[in-house]
Each structure stands twice: as C-alpha cells, then as structure tokens.
Amino acid sequence: MRLHNMFKKTGEKITSIHSRNRRKPEAPEGILKKCNKCGAAILTDEVINGKYICPKCHGYFRIPAYKRIELVTDAGSFEEWDAKIDEGERPENPLNFRGYTEKVKALRVKTGLDEAVVTGKATICGYPVVIGVCDGRFMMASMGHAVGEKITRAVERATKERLPVVLFTCSGGARMQEGIISLMQMAKTSAALKRHSDAGFLYIPVLTDPTTGGVTASFAMLGDIILAEPGALIGFAGPRVIEQTIGQKLPEGFQRAEFLLEHGFVDRIVTRDEMKEVLRQILKMHTVIDEKKEECPEKKKENRKNISAGKENVSAWERVLKSREKERPVGKDYIDRLFTDFVELHGDRYYKDDPAVVGGIAYFHGKAVTVIAQCKGKTTKENLERNFAMPSPEGYRKALRLMKQAEKFQRPVICFVDTPGGFLRNGGRRAWTG
Ligand SMILES: [Zn+2]
C-alpha cells in the first residue's frame, strides 16, 4: 500500500478489524503493509523473515508452503515428492469450466507451485516424517484431483515406508471447478489414511487458517492427534451460510480453533513458536525405542518392601481423614510428580472437552504411556471449572478415545480415579494401573 494513505481511517479498515469474516492477508509484497487484523503498518521483511506473525497484534498471516516446511523441519532434510504430476495422469479441466485452465496456468507462474499442496519427506528434530503443506495462494488451496492425488500418494508411501504423517491443512474446500472429481478426493484421501492408521502409524493434521469444506470433512479431522493454530477458522460451511440456513445467530467465536477445542474437536492449540517442539515431543513419544532398561533385582525387592510398608500402620479411619484433607494431592499433582513431558490432549471429538478428566501422553520411567486422571481443583474456582472432578459423558468419551489411541500405539494406560466423597460405589478413591 502507499504511504500517504497509511493512517487514513476508512470504513473498510474498520470493518476489517471488527467483522468476523475479516479479509485474510496474502504474503505482503511492498516494503510496508497494513495488518488487516490490527490495522498497524508493518514491515514486510520483518514478517517474512519471522514466522509470518504481525509484530504488533501477533495475528497470524498465512504462510507459503515452502516457508512452512522451512519453519518446522530440519534444514536441508526436505525431499519433495511428486513435485509435478504428469499431464497424462491429470484431468486438466474435467468440466471444461470456463477460464479454469488459464487460471491454473497463471497461478503456476505466479506462485512457482505446480499445485496447491507440497508433499515429501523430511525430519523434524531428527524424527523422519512424511509432510504435506497446503498453500492458500493457489486457489485458496482448494482440493482438486491433483491435491487429492498428491496427498494420497504421500500417505500411501508413508504406510509403505512405515512413517508418521504430518499435514498442515488450509483450504477453501473442494475445488468447484472440478465438480464431482474434487469430491471424490475426500473418499480417496480418507481411505489412504485409514490404511495408514490400520497399519498402526501416527497421523497429525495441523489445522491452519482457514480449514473448511471438503478438507475438514475428510483428511483434516482424521488425525490421531489434531493440532490447530490459534484463531484459525475451522468448519464445514461458512458462518453466513449456516446463519441463513438455520435462521439463528451463531455464538461468539464460532468455528475458531479455540471454539473447537472447547467443543472437543481439537486436541491442542499450538502457537507457531512452539510448533516444532510440540511436533518433536509427539513424534518422539510415538517412536519405539528398543533399549530395555531392566531394573536390577535388588532394587525391585526394595521397592516392593516400600510398597508393603506403606500399607501398614494406617487405620481405616486415618485413611478416611487423609482422603478428606484439604491439601491432599489432586490428579494434576500426580501427573506433574510422576511423569515427565506430559502432552495434554483434549476433547471427545463429539461434543465437548471435559475439564474434570485430564488426559494425554507422558513418559513414565522413560516409557511413553497414556495418562488419564480425574481431576479436582485446588480452589473453589478451579473446582467449579473442573466440576469437582465429576466427569460428564464427554469426560468418559475423552477417556475412551485416549484408551483406544493407547491401544493403537500399544501404550500402557495409567488412570487416576478420584471419586468424589458422595459417590462411593467404586470403593472411594483409588488409583489403578493397567
Ligand atoms: Zn496486526
């Protein structure tokens, strides 16, 4: 934009700050650019050399695919796959949609991309992965034949090479210019991911702004662990379409990543600064390490002694009093003291995330385990948030989901049950491992 009207207040600017369907920035091209989230003038270079984050409001701009790969993978480790899909394998313009061929050709020149997704193999902090990144500059990364084909091939090759898959999604949905062929990509990518999952491998989609339509309805939501960037729009139909259809006003923050987290559809929101580290942690936890550290027999005996020692000299009444102590540890304390590198995972993928149940993956003496804990709060406020550790159906569904996940990855499950006083059907408070 030009300097002279940089601080001019225009109606358009005001709506772009406040309206929920704010316009999204493309990669800035001039020296200065106006952030369309906070309206501040920002240096283009500062944004490009950083992580495409507004230095003023910390809003996220969309990232070109190769830049994203550079940010999350180890330098020089990326090997691109299917950079160009042969013309013969590609239905160029199946509906003879007017202007479509020309548009794709022009975009190839403009973006230097062959299509709206880049796929390949790389390492993240030394852990090998198959990675795919959608690029919004190419027809809003809509899913046509080429996009579906590249993702499917990448997932199939990941299954063959026994590798986890990380996909950064961003899409306006299915590519309408390809009609039914674009919709078929939903089934194709989903089927490839099912085979990858059945073979026991990990898939992490990272939902970035915006992930919508047929992509949300297929590969974006099929992850073992679903991550999202803060503030990302994630949904099927757009908010305006829904409002017009159901004739109701939608709740505040509808379809944003935070809303989805609260409603149990996303495991975790991860900032750009933490992204590589969080991926490293999760990948490490899903890498089987062969070294078996056997505990020496004397130590085992000693431990057993200690355990039995704990059982002596405590009367039933003392136990009752202990269970009612105000300062007694709650689920989260056990997690913090007994485990390391706890990665909390949220949601039942159905309705809500239940704060009464805390779950995730952590290390227990060097072994990755799934931890599920009924969790009280320390204060009244916390207790109200956690519903005094009384799970709702969504809490049980979260626990069940995490147990199934543990089964897939052959992790032991450690549960901490903290049944509130009035509910003694399970024999009061008890912790078990299994
Ligand atoms: Zn800003």
Q: Which two structure tokens, joined as six digits, stand for 306?
A: 């200690």
User: Residue 210: is the preceding peptide bond cis (ω within 30°)?
Assistant: yes
Give me the pLDDT at residue 21, please: 46
pLDDT tens track for 345-373: 999 999 999 999 999 999 999 999 999 99
pLDDT tens track for 164-214: 999 999 999 999 999 999 999 999 999 999 999 999 999 999 999 999 999
Query: Is 78:69 a contact under the CB 8 Å cutoff?
Result: yes
Cα–Cα distance, 420 to 197 (Å, whole number): 37
23 vs 281, which has greater pLDDT? Answer: 281
Q: Round the CA-based radius of gyration of the chain to a whole number and report it.
A: 25
Ligand 1 centre distance from Cα of residue 52 (Å): 11
| End-to-end Cα distance, the chain | 62
Ligand 1 centre distance from Cα of residue 175 (Å): 30
Q: Look up residue 411 and give its amino acid.
A: R
Residue 26 has pLDDT above 70, yes or no: no
Ligand 1 centre distance from Cα of residue 39 (Å): 6
pLDDT tens track for 391-416: 999 999 999 999 999 999 999 999 99
Ligand 1 centre distance from Cα of residue 120 (Å): 32
From start to end of 221-364, where are the E strands? 227-228, 268-269, 340-345, 357-364
Cα–Cα distance, 181 to 76 (Å, whole number): 35
Give me the pLDDT at residue 313, please: 78
Ligand 1 centre distance from Cα of residue 173 (Å): 26
Cα–Cα distance, 352 to 257 (Å, whole number): 13
pLDDT tens track for 319-336: 888 877 878 888 899 999
Cα–Cα distance, 282 to 164 (Å, whole number): 11
Ligand 1 centre distance from Cα of residue 274 (Å): 20
Ligand 1 centre distance from Cα of residue 29 (Å): 16
409 backbone dihedrals φ, ψ, rounded to 5°: -95, 10
Ligand 1 centre distance from Cα of residue 62 (Å): 13
Give me the pLDDT at residue 327, please: 82
410 backbone dihedrals φ, ψ, rounded to 5°: 55, 45
> CA separation (Å) from 348 to 7, 172, 405?
46, 26, 12
